[in-house]
Amino acid sequence: MSQHVKNITDSTFNDEVTGTSGPVLVDFWAEWCGPCKALAPVLNDIADDYVDAVRIRKINADENKEASGRYNVRGLPTMILFVDGEEKERILGLVSKTRIAALLDRYVEG
């Protein structure tokens, strides 16, 4: 895992995501989820590419039901982009690095 990707839990969600300013991409995943595992290296690359612009956080949906329920996460992987603590967009399923970067670029000041 990239040093720029951080695992969070229900108890740290506010401190790491909703209680912060700027963009945070949260990856809801689970150990049994094959597409989640395939997405991990893509998110590592994204985290390295956007190190000064976007924080990347991962939360295990099985172990953290509160956040998964609050944001109505029904399929995995689900990535939700928060900006200044508010949900702005979400991507469901395994997608390309290009698609994730295009989403982030809409919210990152160039």
Reading the block at residue 14, the tokens are 């506010």
Active site residue 99: no
- Which among 17, 24, 26, 36 is annotated as catalytic? 36
Give the separation between CA 71 and CA 91, rounded to whole angstroms: 13
- Which among 5, 25, 33, 56 is annotated as catalytic? 33
- Please enumerate in sequence order all residues whose Cβ is within 8 A of that of 40, keeping only pairs 6 or more positions apart, or say none: 1, 29
Active site residue 33: yes
CA quadruple 97, 6, 93, 32: dihedral sign: positive
- Strands (DSSP E) found in the chain: 5-8, 23-29, 55-60, 78-83, 86-92
Q: What residues are annotated to the active site?
A: 33, 36
